[in-house]
Structure 1
Amino acid sequence: MMLFEDALMADRPQIADYLDYREFLRDMFAFCKATESHFSHRFLAGRAGFSSPNFLQLVIEGKRNLSPTSVRKVAKGFGLTAKERDYLECLVLMNQAQNHWERDEFYRKLLSLKKGATVRKLRKAEYDYFSNWYVPAIREVAVWEGGRLTPSEMAQRLDPAITSKQAEKALGVLVELNLIEQDEQGRWQKKDAVVTTGAEVQSLCVANFHREMIPLGSQAIERFNAEERDISALTLTVSRDRLPALKKKIVAFRKELLEMARAEEGVDQVVQVNIQAFPLARALAVADGVADES
């Protein structure tokens, strides 16, 4: 009997594995329904204290949000531990944040809550890779001069320069992500690995990356002369239907630049190419809101 109960608990969704609270609620409900024959949306609503028997179903479908009060009710309904409830509260705040800065703050809190988790699908190194402009740059510089540069020398090669401590941190992140390694002689070399994350973290990380890089592009106007940089812009009119075609052309251009870079030999600098396309004016759209229940 104990072995059977242990097997059931092993299948129980672990909230620390999730970065989307709706997915966790969906999986948790499916688990409870599979292990308790009487479990249903009506049963859960009654145990949690919701007046609407299908409230959780509406939340899972994205038609309702969770308020702080309803989070505690959901935790009670599923019998979550205090730590699981704390994680759920933070996860809800991150998913329902109104801007990137709020999402970033709550994601950092989630990372601290994950420290004690047995299973972690996402590592802090992935977050650090995208959230610090110098980490991808150090990956490129590390293999210069036969891969024998010291962290201090790498730091001084960057423009703007960083500290030796930051360079050492960047190397640690890159090694953990299997993006670089040292050979038997201690020389740094690249590895053909790709950094991938879940959609939620990818969104956070990419936003952080652009927040780091775009100001550097603005500073480059003053920091470099025209022969060392290229800064240009277009203001266009485009229909909403044609926007995907515009984005495809941008993707094709990026791929062309990458292929050119791969074929280069005897490189002596790292160049950042920022490409942005965003609305300056558009027709008003009516957005449907979603209500909460407390």
Structure 2
Amino acid sequence: MKPISDYNDYRLYIRDFYEERKLMTGLSWRGFNKMAGYASPRFLKLVCDGKSKLSSVGAIRLAKVMGLSKVQSSYFLALVSYCNTSVERRKQVAYEHMQAIAKDEKVRIVGDDAYDYYKDWWNPILRELAPRVAVAIPAKIASLFYENVSSEDVRKSLDFMVQAGFLKKNKKSYVQTDKAILGSSEKIPKAIRNMHKQMAFFAEKAVDNFSVSDRNFSGMTLSVNRAAYDQIVNELDSCRKKIAAIVSAAEECDRIYRLNLQLFPVTKEIEK
């Protein structure tokens, strides 16, 4: 499902949300309406068909049902206002609000510079860390890493990310040009695989190196078929996007974490 900031019609977003959940969980219009607090089993379908409108109160309620983050909910409410009003001035105000939120929540899809960005494990960490250091001197930044990284590597990485547009230099400090970066595994499979291996190794060390108050590990061993696997992958992808939204909304962050989402086979396929 596309990011909510890609939508200019809340009806299309609701329909896409419903169709995705219908495919994944068997959700019906009746069930969807019940979850949203509507007595009519057809109301939301009528909304999506353009035969009814969602009120502002209903939009707030539905945003919670769809599990939208605070920022995503703000965009959704502005989207409802934009689509429902016929007053040009109100429509313009709502649209400008939508644009501001979309810009703030912009996700950069790494393309030509992807390999260089992902080939060194410290680049994603440094991109989060550098803007939070008041005086971003390479030696000082390097000292904040738990794993060994040289000040020269930090300097080269900062220069690369400024040149590639991932960071912007402001005198002695740095700012991010986008809120988040998502890599395309189709374009850069080797670099991302190497990154996953390195971060998995760090995760192994973290089990012993950090107290349970500073790290969270959990796992499940599951019996699945292909359909269940695909559904789980979709849920993990949705979860990752929600976490990205939480992080984008957070202010005055004081530590950098790594989140690994892993799902892999531990046996061969069982012959029937």
TM-score range, shorter chain: 0.5 to 0.7
Identity of aligned residues (%): 22
Structure 2-normalised TM-score? 0.54
* Match among 118, 128, 131 for residue 130 of structure 1: 118
Q: Deviations over 1:52-95 (max 9, x none)?
A: xxxxxxxxxxxxxxxxxxxxxxxxxxxxxxxxxxxxxxxxxxxx
Paired letter, 1:213: M
> Following TM superposition, where does structure 1 have runs of at least 4 consecutive aligned residues deviating by more than 6 angstroms?
none
Kindly indicate whether residue 199 of structure 2 is the aligned counterpart of residue 213 of structure 1: yes
Paired letter, 2:167: I
1:159 Cα shift? 1.5
SS at match of 1:253: helix
Hey, what does 2:32 align to over in structure 1? none
| Structure 2: 5+ residue stretches without partners | 1-110
1:126 Cα shift? 3.0
Q: Deviations over 1:161-203 (max 9, x none)?
A: 41101111211221232100112x342111028576683x411
Give the count of matched residue pairs.
Answer: 160
Structure 1-normalised TM-score? 0.50
- Residues of 1 paired with 2:183 and 2:203: CA distance? 25
| Structure 1: 5+ residue stretches without partners | 1-121, 286-294
Q: Quick check: 1:126–1:195 contact (8 Å CA) kept in 2? A: no
Kindly indicate whether residue 149 of structure 2 is the aligned counterpart of residue 162 of structure 1: yes
1:233 Cα shift? 1.0
Q: Deviations over 1:10-46 (max 9, x none)?
A: xxxxxxxxxxxxxxxxxxxxxxxxxxxxxxxxxxxxx
Q: Which moved more, 1:189-198 or 1:166-175?
A: 189-198
1:282 Cα shift? 3.4
Distance 1:195 1:178, change over 3 A: farther
Kindly indicate whether residue 166 of structure 2 is the aligned counterpart of residue 179 of structure 1: yes
Distance 1:246 1:196, change over 3 A: closer
- Residues of 1 paired with 2:269 and 2:119: CA distance? 33
The aligned runs of 1:91-170 (5 Å cut-off) are: 125-146=113-134, 148-170=135-157
Paired letter, 1:208: N
* Match among 248, 254, 258 for residue 234 of structure 2: 248
- Residues of 1 paired with 2:254 and 2:268: CA distance? 43
SS at match of 2:213: helix
Kindly indicate whether residue 254 of structure 2 is the aligned counterpart of residue 283 of structure 1: no
- Residues of 2 paired with 1:240 and 1:132: CA distance? 33
